[in-house]
């Protein structure tokens, strides 16, 4: 994942989105209330497995955990896509993407996405001796997965019949070359978009990618490439955040550009918004634990998880 330089910091206004959110606020389900402790527990269960690097037993166990959790919450359909991919180092792995579909027969769909693999090397750690160690990935990986699992817990058996929700857990996002070509990242998503399970009529109207959404006191700016490919949806989601009481968390200003799974999904015809901490007050970009051995449970904030999950759920139910 790479931060792109030169992105504007100018304020961005979404008046249409704010009006839309205000009109729809009464439609938010009183029963679909994200629970901070539940979200934290979902992160913790993944972290307890250890680093979920491609090819590891922890990685396999995490995939099984996701599949079993979705089924346990009554998600209608759970499908697994497997594809062999090659990293920039020339190593071959079988990527395993997992798609849980709620109301699969509904043509009006929303796609939620998170990656569940973790980076094999802590190459951004301030201690060079740590650069060969695997990243635990509490924030970078497990936090986004937690939001999707919480969505399944709340809506797997209780979603309005006029909306379908696809929960996509992608693999092999985080084995890319630091400073290298963007195609070295998001290998699982690149395979998934080649064989998306949609027709022209039931393709999701938009997607939301959740990545690094659990950091302490995190603020989420409008990611640059999301504005290029899904501006109307960025407007609406940030407006929903304000209506939901999280306007302080979702800052209505443009942030940096990130090479992430949403780029490939948008290019495949589903406009996708990346909710990601990309303007941290200490680093100017990602959370300080990014790609370090410090990406552990100590860096996870229940309140951040709650703010993101509730915003996403409210936006989906509009």
**In the chain, what percentage of residues exceed pLDDT 90?**
87
Mean of pLDDT values over 192-206: 94
| Residue ranges making up the domain that contains 119 | 3-317
The Cα–Cα gap between 211 and 220 comes to 11
Report the alpha-carbon angle 137-71-302, nearest 5: 40
Report which of 111, 121, 98, 96 is spatially closest to residue 172, judged by C-alpha positions: 96
Are 239 and 24 in contact by the 8 Å Cβ rule? The answer is: no
Look up the CATH number of the domain holding residue 56.
3.40.630.10
Return the number of other C-beta atoms located less than 10 Å from residue 286's C-beta: 23
CA distance 270 to 268: 6
Q: Using one digit for the tens of pLDDT, what is the confidence trace for 271-287?
A: 999 999 999 999 999 99
Query: Crossing angle for the helix pair 15-24 and 224-243, nearest 10 degrees?
Result: 40
pLDDT value at position 12?
A: 37
pLDDT at 22 over 80: no
- Residue 55's pLDDT is 96
Q: What mean pLDDT is predicted for residues 9-16?
A: 37
Looking at residue 30, its pLDDT comes to: 66
Number of domains present in the structure of the chain: 1
Side-chain-side CA neighbours of 207 within 13 Å: the count stands at: 28
More confident residue, 6 or 269: 269
pLDDT tens digits, residue range 236-249? Answer: 999 999 999 999 99
For the stretch 47-77, pLDDT in tens is 999 999 999 999 999 999 999 999 999 999 9
Dump pLDDT digits (tens) for 134-191: 999 999 999 999 999 999 999 999 888 889 999 999 999 999 999 999 999 999 999 9
Is residue 7 pLDDT above 90, yes or no?
A: no
Q: How confident is the model at residue 31 (pLDDT cuts 50, 70, 90)?
A: confident
**Residue by residue, what is the 3-state secondary structure of the chain?**
CCEECCCCCCECCCHHHHHHHHHHHHHCCCCCCCCHHHHHHHHHHHHCCCCCCCCCHHHHHHHHHHHHHHHHCCCCEEEEEEEEEECCCCCEEEEEEEEEEECCCCCCEEEEEEECCCCCCCCCCCCHHHCCCCCCCHHHHHHHHHHHHHHHHHHCCCCCCCCEEEEEEECCCCCCCCCCCHHHCCHHHHHHHHCCCCCCCCCCCEEEEEECCCECCCCEEECHHHHHHHHHHHHHHHHHHHHCCCCCCEEEEECCEECCHHHHHHHCCCCEEEEECCCCCCCCCCCCCCCCCCCCHHHECHHHHHHHHHHHHHHHHC
Q: Given the DSSP bridges, would you call strands 220-222 and 250-254 parallel, antiparallel or unpaired?
A: parallel
Residues 75-91, mean pLDDT to the nearest whole number: 97
Report the pLDDT value the prediction gives residue 19, as an integer from 0 to 100: 43
Q: Is the pLDDT of residue 27 over 60?
A: no
Distance CA 100, CA 302 (A): 25
**What confidence score (pLDDT) does residue 29 get?**
56
> For 92-147, how does the pLDDT look when each residue is reduced to its tens digit (9 = 90+)?
999 999 999 999 999 999 999 999 999 999 999 999 999 999 999 999 999 999 99
pLDDT given for residue 44 in this prediction: 98
Only one residue has tokens 């973790």, namely 118
- How far is residue 260 from each of residues 55, 70, 187, measured CA to CA in Å? 21, 24, 10
Q: Are 186 and 263 in contact (CB under 8 A)?
A: yes
Q: List pLDDT tens digits, range 212-261.
A: 999 999 999 999 999 999 999 999 999 999 999 999 999 999 999 999 99
Both tokens of 218, joined, read 């995190």
**Could you tell me which of 301, 299, 303, 281 has the C-alpha nearest to residue 291?**
299
- Is the distance from CB of 214 to CB of 300 less than 8 angstroms? yes
């Amino acid at each position: 994942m790479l931060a792109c330089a030169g992105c504007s910091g100018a304020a961005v206004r979404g008046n249409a989105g704010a009006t839309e959110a205000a009109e729809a606020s009464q439609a938010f389900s009183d029963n679909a209330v994200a629970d901070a402790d539940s979200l934290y527990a979902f992160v913790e269960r993944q972290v307890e497995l250890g680093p979920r690097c491609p090819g590891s037993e922890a990685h396999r166990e995490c995939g099984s955990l996701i599949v079993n959790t979705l089924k346990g919450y009554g998600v209608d359909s759970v499908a697994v896509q497997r594809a062999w991919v090659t990293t920039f180092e020339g190593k071959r792995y079988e990527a395993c993407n997992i798609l849980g579909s709620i109301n699969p027969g509904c043509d009006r769909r929303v796609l939620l996405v998170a990656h569940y693999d973790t980076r094999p090397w802590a190459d951004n750690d301030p201690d060079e001796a740590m650069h060969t160690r695997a990243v635990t990935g509490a924030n970078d990986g497990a936090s986004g997965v937690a939001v999707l699992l919480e969505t399944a817990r709340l809506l797997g058996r209780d979603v309005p019949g006029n909306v379908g929700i696809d929960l996509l857990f992608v693999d092999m996002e985080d084995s890319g070359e630091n400073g290298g070509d963007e195609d070295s990242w998001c290998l699982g998503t690149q395979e998934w978009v080649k064989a998306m399970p949609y027709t022209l009529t039931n393709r999701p109207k938009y997607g939301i990618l959740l990545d690094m959404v659990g950091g302490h006191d995190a603020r989420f700016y409008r990611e640059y490439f999301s504005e290029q490919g899904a501006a109307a949806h960025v407007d609406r989601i940030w407006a929903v955040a304000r209506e939901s009481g999280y306007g302080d968390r979702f800052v209505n200003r443009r942030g940096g550009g990130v090479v992430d799974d949403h780029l490939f999904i948008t290019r495949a015809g589903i406009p996708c918004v990346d909710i990601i901490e990309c303007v941290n007050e200490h680093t100017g970009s990602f959370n300080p634990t990014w790609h370090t051995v410090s990406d552990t449970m100590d860096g996870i904030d229940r309140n951040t998880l709650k703010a993101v999950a509730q915003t996403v759920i409210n936006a989906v139910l509009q």
